Each structure stands twice: as structure tokens, then as C-alpha cells.
Amino acid sequence: MNRRVWLRAGLGLLAGGQVVLGLWILLLPELFWKWPWVSHLPPYNEHLLRDFGGASLALAVVLCAAVATMERRLVLTSLVAYLVSSVAHLLFHARHLEPLSAGSAAGFMALLGAAVLLPAVLVWLAADGTAVRAPGPAERRPARRRSTP
């Protein structure tokens, strides 16, 4: 498979994960809260959970747009946005592992680490530009002209 196929598949995986996560949290926040890696940090806050679900769906929209267009700026922007979220998530939970067993903490950190590693690899795939398309002439901004006094 070529870089473009891998990049599109990876973006699709990230987008699909955000859709599932966002819908789960938005529609069933209590069920999400019962997940052991979540509920060890009380108190339950339905408002914050539903907001997080909505934000996950918003990120999914941007990732889906990147999958559909494969336009370089959109692909890179969506991946960097995902990375900002996943790195912040990893750093927070890395400091709050005390209530978890060693095995559960290791599994959780592996999952959160993969959520950082995958988009980082996808940024690398997209960075050279061969796997994505450049904006067409209609999408490019005209060059700014300097005005002379």
C-alpha cells in the first residue's frame, strides 16, 4: 500500500474512533462514566461529559473532512488538533494512575500512548506532501501585492 492509502486509513480510524467516543459520551454519559479508567476520578459531571462528547464529534467532523479531501493543510491541521488533545489526555492520566492496578495502569498508558503515536506517524506520512494533494488554483490565495506610496 502506498503512503496515501495508509494516511487515509489512519485518518479514517481516528475519525471513526472519535465518532464512537463522541456518540457514546454524548448519548450515554453514565455508561461512559462507569468505565473503570474514567470513574476513578470523581465526581461525575454530566455537563462536562456531554461537552466532551460534543467536542469529540466536532474533531470527528474535521478528521472526516480530511479523509474526504486529502488536502494537505486540512490533513495536517486535523492531525495536529488530534495530537494536542491526545497528548494533553496522556499527560493528565499519567499523573493520576494511583487508583489503578499496575496492569490496568500499564494497559491504559499503552492505549493513550497509541493515541499519540498513530497521529504522529500520520503527520510524518503527510509532511512530505506526496500522500496528500495541494490546494487547487481556486483554493489558493492570491499573492499580496505591495502598495507603493
Identify the band that residue 42 occupies on the pLDDT scale cut at 50, 70 and 90.
confident
Determine the number of helices (DSSP H) and then strands (DSSP E) in the chain: 6, 0
In this structure, the dihedral spanned by the alpha carbons of residues 121, 13, 25 and 98, taken in order and rounded to 10 degrees, is -40
Helix (H, G, I), strand (E, B) or coil at 44: coil
- In the predicted structure, residue 148 carries a pLDDT above the cut 70: no
The average pLDDT across 57-68 equals: 98
Burial of 50 (C-beta count, 10 Å sphere; 0-12/13-18/19+):
middle
pLDDT tens readout for residues 103-128: 999 999 999 999 999 999 999 999 98
Q: What percent of the chain has pLDDT over 70?
A: 89
> Which pLDDT score, from 0 to 100, does residue 144 have?
65
Rounded Cα gap, residues 10 and 14, in angstroms: 6
Identify the band that residue 149 occupies on the pLDDT scale cut at 50, 70 and 90.
low
Identify the band that residue 10 occupies on the pLDDT scale cut at 50, 70 and 90.
very high
pLDDT tens readout for residues 68-88: 999 999 999 999 999 999 999
Which residue has 502506498 as its cell numbers?
2
Contact in structure between 83 and 116 (CB atoms under 8 Å) = yes
